[in-house]
Structure 1
Amino acid sequence: MAAITVDGLSKSYDTTPVLSNLTFEVDVGTVFGLLGKNGAGKTTTINVLTGIVPPDTGSAAILGLDPSDDPEGVRERIGVLPEKESPPSFLTPREYFSFVGGVRELDTEYVATRVDEWAERLDFAEKLDTLCKDLSRGQQQKVMLTQAFLHDPELVFIDEPLANLDPVIQERVKELIREFQSRGTTIVLSTHHVEVAQELCTHVGILVDGAFAVECDPRELSDETLRDVFLRAVEDHSTPLYPEP
């Protein structure tokens, strides 16, 4: 069963095309990697699928809902970790999670329990009552990861989830992603780090010029790595993101 169905999405900003007839499906309970260079269209794809911007042409269904027609209905059922997003500087993490819980109409005790669990696992319990503006980038990333999963969503879009995190916390985040996926949560992971996609994703699409140049299951690559596939996909279009040494 498909959690996401995309058919012929195209999107331009002014006269610059960003997505070009993009078509794909994501099955329930998978980790789908949006892989590509900076500017390949990864963030725009997520913005269209979460109802932030409308497509110029084409259609999409997120858990059976059209994000253009029913963006609020979509957002009730999904979590989102946007690219380079920070929590509100004037709130503490605890206050921010309380706000998110209120917007999502979550039980306050449930929110408190979830926050304590995530703060313990991601090692920021001592920062829960510190203003977000005084947190390091890594601590802010932990806060944003927590809010994305706070309500136990059916589908989560996460953009560069390991950014600014130390190696120990990176491994814990990977464990959490695997746990949610094993419970049936669908995850769309946007990254330009090939190694992250190879390790975590059950399926990947390599975006080049706003369309998939390659779709594959990275676990089925035997005599080649996803990095090699990625390089071949982009080499005819621009300088490879990971050039050979």
Structure 2
Amino acid sequence: MDENESPAVRLDGVHKRYGEVVALDGLSLSVDRGELFGFLGANGAGKTTTIKLLTGQRTPDAGSVSVLGRDPSDDPVETRRHLGVLPEREDPPSFVTPREYFAFVGRVRDIDEETLDARIDGWTHRFGFRDQLDTLCTDLSRGQRQKVMITASFLHEPDLVFIDEPLANLDPVMQERLKAFLVDYTSEDNTVFLSTHHVDVAEGICSRVGILRDGRLADDRRPDDEDGRLLDAFFDGVRSE
């Protein structure tokens, strides 16, 4: 299969252990290009481990992983050129300004200065933090730092973005703006892999949701399935733990 025709994400029978702890237990999953895929699970279900495997930060003990048609551990540099990653609870460097941090990201991602300026302008307008561009990141609020990290993840307009709880620390208005942006972004054949334990977020914006339980894919469905089954499936899993 041509790389451009392959799924954005594929895991086949993936196992991952940390000592005696089984993080993933034969996880199989496929996400098509252009999907806004919600990865739903309780804390400790294995969501962060999955993202680390997909971004080449870890390798599986067994099974195979493919991202945009490549094994991320075999070709990490080329794979990451096409990825954006927004981990949970990660801040920008403290003693630089957002403008300086974006300039660094632009150099790493080979974004020319004019394009970078236009994209920074677009994001600061969307999130309303233009006045903080020259403030040290250490002096920004937690919500403002989150806006900086979101912006940095999208500056190079990646084909695939992994996001772990992106709405944390954003006020309700900014949350709605980001959700609308994610929907628009995937409408252009980009893919978003959204890890969350918030059912309302998954139901509200995702085109498809996988429910992770005990390191396995326990359910895979579209949020508009009848009878509120997505909500029931998630909480049935939580109650059974």
CA distance in structure 1 between the aligned counterparts of 2:14 and 2:111, rounded to whole angstroms: 34
CA distance in structure 1 between the aligned counterparts of 2:95 and 2:197, rounded to whole angstroms: 31
Q: Secondary structure at the match of 2:227?
A: coil
Q: Structure 1 stretches (4+) deviating beyond 4 angstroms?
A: none
CA distance in structure 1 between the aligned counterparts of 2:88 and 2:49, rounded to whole angstroms: 11
Match of 1:137 among 139, 142, 148: 142
1:234 and 2:222 are equivalent in the alignment: no
Q: In the TM superposition, what are the counterparts of 1:181-200 in structure 2 within 5 Å?
A: 181-200=186-205
Structure 1 residue 55: Cα displacement = 1.0
Residue correspondences, number: 236
Preserved CA contact (<8 Å) 1:214 1:233: no
- Correspondence for 1:75: 80
- Paired letter, 1:59: S
- Paired letter, 2:230: L
CA distance in structure 2 between the aligned counterparts of 1:122 and 1:18, rounded to whole angstroms: 36
- Paired letter, 1:165: L
Please give the root-mean-square deviation of Cα atoms over the aligned residues, in Å. 1.0
CA distance in structure 2 between the aligned counterparts of 1:163 and 1:124, rounded to whole angstroms: 17
1:47 and 2:63 are equivalent in the alignment: no
Q: In the TM superposition, what are the counterparts of 1:55-94 in structure 2 within 5 Å?
A: 55-94=60-99
CA distance in structure 1 between the aligned counterparts of 2:124 and 2:24, rounded to whole angstroms: 37
Structure 1 residue 33: Cα displacement = 0.8
- Paired letter, 1:27: D
- Correspondence for 1:110: 115
CA distance in structure 2 between the aligned counterparts of 1:217 and 1:227, rounded to whole angstroms: 11
With the length of structure 1 as denominator, give the TM-score of the two structures: 0.94
Cα deviation per residue 1:170-200 (whole Å; 9 max; x = unaligned)?
1100111011011111000000000000011
Q: In the TM superposition, what are the counterparts of 1:75-224 in structure 2 within 5 Å?
A: 75-219=80-224, 221-224=225-228
Gaps of 5+ in 2: none
Cα deviation per residue 1:192-225 (whole Å; 9 max; x = unaligned)?
0000000111111111111111111112x22225
Cα deviation per residue 1:97-131 (whole Å; 9 max; x = unaligned)?
10011111111111111011101101111001001
Sequence identity (%):
55
Preserved CA contact (<8 Å) 2:221 2:230: no
With the length of structure 2 as denominator, give the TM-score of the two structures: 0.96
